[in-house]
Structure 1
Amino acid sequence: MHNDCIFAIQLYFMQPVTGFSKLSKSQKIDWLVTNHLNDNATARETLTQYWNEDQKLQDLHDGFSENTVTNYYFPFGLAPNFKIDGQLVTIPMAIEESSVVAAASKAAKFWMDRGGFKTVIKGTKKVGQVHLMYHGLSSEMDAFYAFAKAELLQSLEQINASMKKRGGGIVSLDLIDKTKNLKGYYQLHATFETKDAMGANFINTTLEQLATTFRLKASQFDGFSSDVPEVIMSILSNYVPECVVNVSVSCKIDEIGTINGVTGKEFARKFVQAVDIATVEPYRAVTHNKGIMNGIDAVVIATGNDFRAVEAGVHAYAARDGQYRSLTKARVENDTFIFEADFPLALGTVGGLTSLHPLSKLALQILENPSAEHLMKVTAVAGLAQNFAALHSLVTTGIQAGHMKMHLVNMLEQIGATDVEKDLLRKEYADKTPSFSALRESLLVLRS
């Protein structure tokens, strides 16, 4: 019987594994290779070659997640020459997609002599909620909240103490009636300032204490005509419309110059129209905003922050009026080209991975150990720069010419070119847009 058939039969009859988390890393790999990879020796070698030789560092990485078998590397790059609020900044970026760092660097260079990037923090509040169900009268819930609010807040004093010393803590607490959206649904809606911490653990701990006190006070309140309210769950929100940074660039039209044969006036006109299209057309807006997130995510990952939380919050913000739209805005006003955006960014520079991962700590050192607010500004700049670079190409030469040239390195690797062949093919395609078929044909010509 063919080996592939045997392997398929083995997979079909494979039994669930028990005690997997208790196996050593080597034992986990043995199980993986035997049960899923048909005893592929190359697979075992691939997994183990990414282990760190420094065992202490490897143990640190293994502690970040569960059931780890190896490390998964991202390139860690630098985008220099960003002029942000008058200061030069080098931005660390961790991303696997080619052309992103190059595009950001190109945008930085373009705006260097045109005033640079300007930023303003518009707010830093974050949100958490205790979700409740009660099917009695809403007036009874209002009466209960008036009865319990003081003790709800008082029960947070110990949890809140250290955060208050840093100028943060719980800012507000409100009972919200959501019964028009869902029968019986209420929430305790809390806002927080967490200073330089992202604050997820602090917020969730605070919310769970609120839930505990809520249950206690509800059991003592005799004004409910129905069963006492039920706490469904307590959790922070990654939607942060009050934790926002504005970032902008602007210059006179005649300062734009000629770009790839396009006059500054024509460039600005088409650029504004491209942003307007992404504002009204969701299909375009998604790709438009994905490009923004290429820049934002790369900084978020490099600094050890949670890019999934940031992504979720940003995309929710893009749809805050009921339709998904462009995050950026562009206009021409008094012969001045203006390009800007508001980005909701809940970031931290202390605690979590930012304090544990050696490269995250180094990334923050590159940024001169910023506050959370300054990191918000830098991250927002990376997002706006990425969008500017993408639109710069789209309204002039098109996106593929530059992108495919940057992708050439990966393509040459995939077709198996040697170092000498790579050099020759790079020269051959210096003025041409590469494709896999064309590269393979050129490689065959070289080898013949």
Structure 2
Amino acid sequence: MRPPVAPNNKQIDGFSRLTKAERRQWLLENFLPAAQAGVLPAFDAANVGWQGVLDKFSENTVANFPLPFGVAPNFVVNGRTYAVPMVIEESSVVAAASAAAKYWMTRGGFRAEVLASEKLGQLHFRWSGRPERRASLLSGLCTRVSAQTDHLTARMEERGGGVRGLTWKHLPEVAPDCYQLLVRFGTADSMGANFINTILEAYGRALESWAAECPELADDERDLEVIMAILSNHTPNCVVRAWVSCPIEQMNIPGSGVDAADFARRFQYAVEIARQDPYRAVTHNKGIMNGVDAVVLATGNDFRAIEAATHAFAAQDGQYRGLSRCRVVDGHFHFELTLPLAIGTVGGLTRLHPMASVALDLLGQPTAEELMCVMAAAGLAQNFAALRSLVTTGIQRGHMKMHLQNILSSLAATEAERRAAEAFFAGQTVSHFGVRSFLEGLRG
């Protein structure tokens, strides 16, 4: 039975309790034009079993939102060749990453290393005790909360993870009685959000019982209230570095009109601009994340968490900066990228989403650290490709070549018209007006 709706028919109670068909019908009756009636079901998965899995990923689902699943071949990372899966809708990203990968394939490939792999969680609480008492009480508190969670951490410890350490912090800038337990975790090949949050909530219960029962506490120190327990997506201790390097004489860019030495000089100059100018840095880092996020999405990881952590990392010294660095020393070109990547290859969507499973198979079922290296290499490749265009031919030449296909699609071009347009606009500036005028000429 359909739940009651408000008189204006635009508001509804119990939308989540409707079937998918009923949700679609309600949207058509109240928000969508009739012409959209066939669009929502058109994107249902042909495999009914897959559709049932997809529907359970989120709430109030009414359709799927397909994105292109592309592959960038020829990525050599730490001596191993990968075909890198990328899910992204932006024109030219996969092509640019592929071109950069092929370029560096003959120049030693990408190198990458994981510098640290700890994740963080926070337990915030009010406590009536004196701040200077923390040091003497911390050891006993750690022993107590750890004992309460041994059964929860045992399996993670078998895989090489677990709780790595605990810091008791005072936060007087919030309130005089505000404190935090900052907990460091290893989560092996899982991203670890559920594990971290489960442990933190157990710590909260242990903390409350500690305040009530600890013989070392005075009566005026027993007022303790847990405010919240949650992982932090700021992951400065879960960091990977990727780099490429070769002699300058190998840095030839065919067709650019710029010699190798001049290209290296201009490239280094562009990277330094992004290091110092926040306006350029934001765009510079967005280009890096074009490559990173595409692999994050393809493998079923959380791109929102990755984005938040990355931009915090870019501003860690108080100014927002470009994440990559370049140096040219003694005739050698070196380009590198360091960024935080808290990702997993087990658990969550990495196993539930059928295409995420395909992506991980493409990559040879990597460990979390191996996947961090591939993602960082994809980000560096994308950054290299963008800067190579910027300091030589300009960004629009390649971008608009790819964008031509989107314009032709929006104008319902036939295959014959597409071929004619591609030939006509080869080497010319592409614009929506220009493409439309060309098609109008073809169509008489």
Verify: 1:71 aligned to 2:71, yes or no: no
**Tell me, what secondary structure is at the counterpart of 2:35?**
helix
How far off is 1:173 after superposition? 1.1
Choose from 258, 262, 265 the match for 2:258: 262
How far off is 1:132 after superposition? 1.8
Deviations 1:371-391 (A, max 9, x none): 000000000000000000000
Q: What is aligned with 2:26?
A: 31
CA distance in 2 between counterparts of 1:131 and 1:36 reads: 43
Verify: 1:169 aligned to 2:165, yes or no: no
Q: Is contact 2:6–2:12 with CA below 8 Å preserved after alignment?
A: no
Letter in 2 for 1:422: R
Verify: 1:314 aligned to 2:307, yes or no: no
Q: What is aligned with 1:363?
A: 359
Deviations 1:165-198 (A, max 9, x none): 1111011012112225654321101111111111
**Tell me, what secondary structure is at the counterpart of 1:350?**
coil
Deviations 1:366-417 (A, max 9, x none): 0000000000000000000000000000000110111000111000011222
CA distance in 1 between counterparts of 2:349 and 2:394 reads: 38
Choose from 4, 13, 37 the match for 2:8: 13
CA distance in 2 between counterparts of 1:112 and 1:210 reads: 49
How far off is 1:142 after superposition? 4.1
Choose from 36, 39, 45 the match for 1:46: 39
Gap change, CA 1:144 and 1:56, over 3 Å in 2: same
Q: What is aligned with 1:248?
A: 243
**TM-score computed with the length of structure 2 as normaliser:** 0.95
How far off is 1:333 after superposition? 1.2
Q: What is aligned with 1:5?
A: none
**Tell me, what secondary structure is at the counterpart of 2:65?**
coil
Q: Percent identity, please.
A: 48
**TM-score computed with the length of structure 1 as normaliser:** 0.94
Q: What is aligned with 2:336?
A: 340
Verify: 1:238 aligned to 2:233, yes or no: yes
Q: Is contact 2:404–2:430 with CA below 8 Å preserved after alignment?
A: yes
Q: What is aligned with 2:288?
A: 292
How far off is 1:88 after superposition? 1.1
Verify: 1:196 aligned to 2:189, yes or no: yes
Q: What is aligned with 1:302?
A: 298
Choose from 310, 326, 332 the match for 1:330: 326
CA distance in 2 between counterparts of 1:381 and 1:174 reads: 33
How far off is 1:223 after superposition? 2.1
Deviations 1:208-258 (A, max 9, x none): 000010011112244253661221100001111111111000111111124
Name the stretch that deviates more: 48-57 or 273-282. Answer: 48-57
**Tell me, what secondary structure is at the counterpart of 2:220?**
coil
CA distance in 1 between counterparts of 2:226 and 2:398 reads: 54
CA distance in 2 between counterparts of 1:427 and 1:117 reads: 35
Q: What is aligned with 2:171?
A: 178
Count of paired positions: 437
The aligned runs of 1:382-393 (5 Å cut-off) are 382-393=378-389
CA distance in 2 between counterparts of 1:288 and 1:294 reads: 10
Q: What is aligned with 1:395?
A: 391
CA distance in 2 between counterparts of 1:419 and 1:11 reads: 49
Name the stretch that deviates more: 218-227 or 301-310. Answer: 218-227
CA distance in 2 between counterparts of 1:414 and 1:388 reads: 30
Letter in 2 for 1:385: A
Q: Is contact 1:47–1:70 with CA below 8 Å preserved after alignment?
A: yes
Task: Indicate the RMSD between aligned Cα atoms, in angstroms.
Answer: 1.6
CA distance in 1 between counterparts of 2:61 and 2:423 reads: 42
Letter in 2 for 1:96: E
Gap change, CA 1:20 and 1:180, over 3 Å in 2: closer
**Tell me, what secondary structure is at the counterpart of 1:296?**
helix
Choose from 407, 411, 420 the match for 1:411: 407
How far off is 1:22 after superposition? 1.1
Unaligned runs of 5+ in 2: none
Q: Is contact 2:128–2:220 with CA below 8 Å preserved after alignment?
A: no
How far off is 1:419 after superposition? 1.8
Q: What is aligned with 1:116?
A: 109
Q: Is contact 2:197–2:231 with CA below 8 Å preserved after alignment?
A: yes
CA distance in 2 between counterparts of 1:112 and 1:217 reads: 58
